[in-house]
Structure 1
C-alpha cells in the first residue's frame, strides 16, 4: 500500500490544535545561548506551558516563570513570584472550570505545578498562567475517562530518545498538530546528559546544546531542561496534549543503575547518589509528572474500562548491567532490573486489572533478542547504536535480556494466571520493532506468546544508518534479516528510521502506526506511515495491518 503522508506544518507557524481549533502559538524569547534578544524586565513565560498525568477528575499543569532577565534556569537568581492559574472549557476563558495560585521560587528553579482536581471526565480544557499581569501561552489538555466508563477508543502519541544535538524535533511538531490524541506517552530519554559534540560526534552535530559540558550538578540539569524547552516544537507538543512520561537512563547518565552509570566517573564527577538526586529533582521540577509514593516514575493511570497504563522505572532499583557474554550473571536470580517492590506492584496490577488492555510503559525492550547472527562488520556499529560494549554482542544486557530472572517471573505470571491483552510499549534502542513476547524464545512459535510489544524508534538519537554514515535502508537490511532469522518472535524491525508512534485502541485490537521522518536534520521534515501492526484482543499475536488509523477531527 502507498505510504500515508502527514501534513507538514512549519515549525514557526501557528499550530492548529483542539476540538475547537485552538491556536497554540510558539513563544518568543529563549534562555541564554538560544537568542540574542534581551529578556524582558517583567515576568515572562519563556519555556511554555504543559500538562500531564490526566485523571478522570483532574490534570497536572506546569510552567516556568522568568521573573527577571538574570533568573535563567539553574542560576538560583530571582525573587519569588505569585502566579495565578486558570482552567476553562473554552479558549477565550469565558467558562472557567477551576482557578488558583502558586508561588514560583528559586528553590524550584521558578517552575510551577498545579495539581488541578474537580474537573469532568473525558473533557477537553484550556489553561494558562498569569504573573505580573502577563499571560502565558494557552495550553490545551484533556482529562481521562471515568474509571468505569465504557470507552469506544483511545489514541496516544508515543515517543522516545530525543537528543537535541542529533537533529530537530519534527516528530513533536507533527504530534502537536494533531487533534485526535488523548495524550502523548514519552518512554524515556526526554533529554541527554552529554556535553557538546560527545554524542553524536562533533562532525555530525546538527545544533548545539546548553550547557556545553556534561550535566552533573543540579544547576547543569536545570540548564539542560530549560534549553530543551527553547525548542518551538517541544513547546508546541506540551501545549497541545497532556504528557505521560517515564525516565530511562539519559535523564541521569548513560546506562544508569542504582549504584552508578557507564557514563559516570566518581573521581571527576563526584558521588553518584548526589548526581542522581540532582537529575531527579530537575526532572520533577521541569516536567508535568507526578512522582509515585516511592519518589520515582513508576505509577498507574486508568482510561475507563478500555485500558490500564502501568508505568515503569527501570533505573532506580536495578543492579549493574552484567558484562557481555557473562551468562551466569545474566541469569542470576539475586540480580534485579525492577526491584522487588516494583515487580510485585506490577504483577498485582496486571492480575487485578479489569481493563481490556493492560499497557506497560516499558523503558527498555522485554522481548528476548539475540544479535550473534549479525555479520561481524555490523556488530560494532550496532553495539554503538544500542549503547553496549563493542567487543561483541550476544545480547543487549541493558535490556530485560540482562535480567532474565525478573523477566521469567513476570512472563510466567502472565502465563500461569491467563492474563491476556498485555502490550509492552517500549523505547530506548532507536529502532522500530513489532514483537510477540514468549516465555521461552526457543519454544516460539510452537508455544503461544503471552504478550506483545511495540518498540518505537528515536526522535533524533542515532540509529544504524547514522552510526554507519550510510543512506537509510542500505546496509541495515542485512542486520534486520539476520535478527528476524534468529528471533522468530520478532515480526518486524526497522533499524534506520526516526519518528514516532500512534497507538490506537478499541475493544477488538491495539494497533501501532509507525510514523517516520523524511530527514531528522530538516526542521521542516515530513512524516509518513512506514508500517502498521496490530494485535487482536485475546490473541497475543502480532499481525501487519495494511491500513493506518484514520486521522479524526
Structure 2
C-alpha cells in the first residue's frame, strides 16, 4: 500500500473538507453582505431571503435558517436547511409555512459558522382587524442620491407590509439618468444586459444600508415596472433596448430570472397576485409590463391608438382581476398599479396624454372603467407609482361629464400616486417656482377637476392607513437626497370615508 507523508495527508484532508470547516475569521458582513429580507406575507406563511457572499463560494453552500417568536430566539418556531448554488447566484429563499395569522416573527440564517443579521417580519391577519398600515413606494435610482425614504420607513412601527410598485433598480449606465457627483455610481459601469450584469446591479443596490434596513424590518410585497428590465418595457420590446443589444426576449428572461433570485417574492405563478388582510383589506398587485402589455404608439393621432388589439393587462390578467374584485368581501380593495389610470391632462400644448400610462391604452382603459362601473365596487383604491410625483385623484375617465367635482359623485375609485424614493422629478431640471406654477395649472378645475393634490417636486413615500370607516393617505417627504438624512415629514394628509369616492382634508365625522 502506498504511504503518504503526514503533512501530505493533512493537506489532502484540509482540501477535501474545506467547505465544511468554518473559517472563524469571517464576519457576518463577509457572508451576508446583502442582508436579509422577507416578503409576500399570507395568513400562514411568509418568504424569507438572504444571499451568501464569500470571496470563494463553493459550488454548493449549506445554509441553516431559523424562525422564532422573539429576537433572541428563545421561543423557536421553525428551522431548516437550504442548499444554494451558483445557478441561483447563491441566493436563499424559503417559504416558511405553518405560521399563525397576524403574527410577528424573527428570522436569521447561518453559513460557515456565522449568523446573519436578524430580520423581523409578520404574517397577514385572518380574523377581524381594526387597522392596517402600508408604506407605498416606487422608483429608487442609486445614482440620484441616498435612499433616505427607505431609512424612514424602516422606523415606522406596525406596518403590514411595504408595497413596492416597481423600478426597484435602474438599468442605465453611469450618468445616463443620474447625478454621479456624490459618488454613487452604477455597477457595472455600463447599461446592464446580461445575466451577470443584472446580478451585479441588484447586488450593488442591496448593499445600500438604508435598503437593507427597511428589508430587515418589514415584509415587502413587490411588482416590477419597466426599469427592472429596460425603460418603457412591454412584452416584446422596450424603448431602451436597441438591436445591437441582442434579442430582447433573452434580456427580458434574464431580468425576470434575476428579479426572482433577488426579491422575496413567491415563485410558481405569474407575478400578478392577491393578498388578503382579514376582512379589512384585499391587495391586488397587477403586472402592467410583461404579462400583457403590447407595444405603445407615438401618440393619439396614430391609426392604432384606439385599437382593441392594444392591451395593458392582457386578457388572462384582465379576467383574473375581474374575478378577484367580484369575489372579495373585504371592506377595502387596494390595487397595486404601476402607471396612472385616471385621465390626466398635463396642461401642456401637444402633450396632453402620457402614452406610457393607461391614457396610452384607451380601449382597455375604458373597458376596465366599465367593469368598475358595472360592478359598483365600494372602497376601491388604486395605489400608483412610476411618475416620481405625488397625486390624489377622484378617479374618472370623464372628468367633464357626469362626475361632480364637489361631491365625488361619478368617480369610479380613488387613485393615490406615490412619489419616488429618490428618482428625479420636475425640480431636478427646473426651478421650484416654475414647477409650482405647473402644479397649480394641473390642479385647476378647467384642466383636471378630479385631481385634488399634486406634488412634482419632493421625494419620499405614501403611508396608507385603513380602518373600517376610513382610509387615510399621508405623504411623507424627505429633507435631502444628497446627504444621508433620516428626517422626513408629512407634507399632505387626506381621508377617504368608507362608501364614498370623495377626498377630505379632515377626518370624516362618525
Give the TM-score taking structure 2 as reference length: 0.90
Superposed, which structure 2 residues align to 1:124-273 within 5 Å?
124-146=104-126, 149-200=127-178, 207-266=184-243, 268-273=244-249
- Report the aligned-residue RMSD: 1.8
Shift of 1:411: 1.5
Quote the Cα distance in structure 2 between the aligned partners of 1:537 and 1:41: 48
| Corresponding residue number in structure 2 for 1:404 | 362
The answer on whether the counterparts of 2:479 and 2:485 sit within 8 Å (CA) in structure 1 is: no
The answer on whether the counterparts of 1:40 and 1:69 sit within 8 Å (CA) in structure 2 is: no
| Corresponding residue number in structure 2 for 1:12 | none
Quote the Cα distance in structure 1 between the aligned partners of 2:258 and 2:197: 9
Q: Which runs of 5+ in 1 are unaligned?
A: 1-37, 72-77, 377-391, 548-553
Superposed, which structure 2 residues align to 1:154-553 within 5 Å?
154-200=132-178, 207-266=184-243, 268-291=244-267, 293-294=269-270, 297-316=271-290, 317-326=292-301, 328-371=303-346, 373-374=347-348, 392-443=350-401, 445-446=403-404, 448-468=410-430, 470=431, 472=432, 474-485=433-444, 486-545=447-506
2:50 pairs with 1:63: yes
Shift of 1:535: 1.2
Instruction: Please give the secondary structure, in 1, of the residue aligned with 2:250.
Output: helix
Shift of 1:522: 1.7
Corresponding residue to 2:70 among 75, 90, 94: 90
Q: Which runs of 5+ in 2 are unaligned?
A: 1-24
Quote the Cα distance in structure 2 between the aligned partners of 1:278 and 1:247: 14
Corresponding residue to 1:50 among 37, 62, 65: 37
**How many residues were matched structurally?**
477
Instruction: Please give the secondary structure, in 2, of the residue aligned with 1:475.
Output: helix
Quote the Cα distance in structure 2 between the aligned partners of 1:104 and 1:425: 36
1:205–1:248 CA distance, 2 compared to 1 (3 A): farther
Quote the Cα distance in structure 2 between the aligned partners of 1:291 and 1:427: 23
Quote the Cα distance in structure 2 between the aligned partners of 1:199 and 1:308: 36
The answer on whether the counterparts of 1:122 and 1:142 sit within 8 Å (CA) in structure 2 is: yes
The answer on whether the counterparts of 1:156 and 1:181 sit within 8 Å (CA) in structure 2 is: yes
The answer on whether the counterparts of 1:54 and 1:144 sit within 8 Å (CA) in structure 2 is: yes
The answer on whether the counterparts of 2:28 and 2:116 sit within 8 Å (CA) in structure 1 is: no
Quote the Cα distance in structure 2 between the aligned partners of 1:364 and 1:292: 25
Query: Which is higher, the Rg of structure 1 or of structure 2?
Result: 2
